[in-house]
Chains A and B, each alone.
Chain A
Amino acid sequence: MKELLVDLLGNELLVYVLMAFVPLLWILPFALFAVWWERKIAAHMQDRLGPMRTGGWHGWAQTIADILKLIQKEDIIPTAADRLLFSLAPFVVFIGAYTAFAAIPFSAAYVGTEINIGLFYIIAVSSFVVIGLLMAGWSSNNKWSLFGAMRSAAQVVSYEIPIALTLLAVVMIVGSFDLQEINRAQSGSILNWFIFQKFPLLFAAALIYFVASLAEVNRTPFDIPEAESELVAGYHTEYGGMKFALFFLAEYANMFAVSIIAATVFLGGWNSPFGEALSGPLWGVFWVLSKSMGFVFVQMWLRWTLPRLRVDQLMYVGWKVLIPFSFVIILGVGFWVLLEG
Chain B
Amino acid sequence: MGRYFKNIFDAVRTILIGMRITARHLFTPSVTIQYPDVKLKLPARARNRLYVNMDDCIGCDQCSMACPVNCITIETIKSTSDVDLGVTSVGSKKRLYVPVFDIDIAKCCYCGLCVYPCPTECIKMTEVFEFSEYERENLIYNFATMTPAEVDDAKRKLAASESTAATKPAPASRGTNS
Structural contact, A41 and B26, CB atoms closer than 8 A: yes
Structural contact, B34 and A45, CB atoms closer than 8 A: no
Residues from chain B with Cβ under 8 Å of A301 in the complex: 19, 22-23, 26
Say if the beta carbon of A24 comes within 8 Å of chain B. no
Chain B residue nearest to A307 (CB atoms) is B18
Name B30's contact: one of A43, A302, A321 (CB within 8 Å).
A43
A43 to B28: give the CA distance in the assembly, Å: 11
Known: A52-B34, A302-B19, A305-B15. A46 touches B25 (CB 8 A): yes
Chain A residue nearest to B31 (CB atoms) is A47
Interface of chain A residues 35 through 82 with chain B (CB within 8 A)? 41, 43-49, 52
A selection of 8 A-B contacts at a CB cut-off of 8 Å is: A44-B27, A45-B26, A47-B29, A48-B31, A301-B19, A304-B22, A305-B15, A305-B21
A185 to B31: give the CA distance in the assembly, Å: 48
Name A49's contact: one of B23, B26, B27, B34 (CB within 8 Å).
B34
A49 to B22: give the CA distance in the assembly, Å: 15
Q: Which of B22, B23, B27 has the most CB of A within 10 A?
A: B22
Say if the beta carbon of A9 comes within 8 Å of chain B. no
Residues from chain A with Cβ under 8 Å of B8 in the complex: 321
Can you list, as one digit per residue, whether each of A296-317 has a CB less than 8 Å from chain B (1) or not (0)? 0000011011100000000000
Residues from chain B with Cβ under 8 Å of A321 in the complex: 8
Structural contact, A49 and B25, CB atoms closer than 8 A: no
Interface of chain A residues 256 through 315 with chain B (CB within 8 A)? 301-302, 304-306
Structural contact, B30 and A305, CB atoms closer than 8 A: no
Structural contact, B19 and A44, CB atoms closer than 8 A: no
B165 to chain A, nearest CB (A): 67
Structural contact, A47 and B34, CB atoms closer than 8 A: no
A304 to B27: give the CA distance in the assembly, Å: 14
Beyond A45-B26, A306-B18, A321-B8: 5 further Cβ-contacts under 8 Å? A44-B28, A47-B30, A47-B31, A305-B15, A305-B18
Q: Which of A43, A45, A52, A304 has the most CB of B within 10 A?
A: A45
Say if the beta carbon of B32 comes within 8 Å of chain A. yes
Residues from chain B with Cβ under 8 Å of A304 in the complex: 22
Structural contact, A305 and B26, CB atoms closer than 8 A: no
Known: A43-B30, A52-B34. A306 touches B25 (CB 8 A): no
A56 to chain B, nearest CB (A): 13
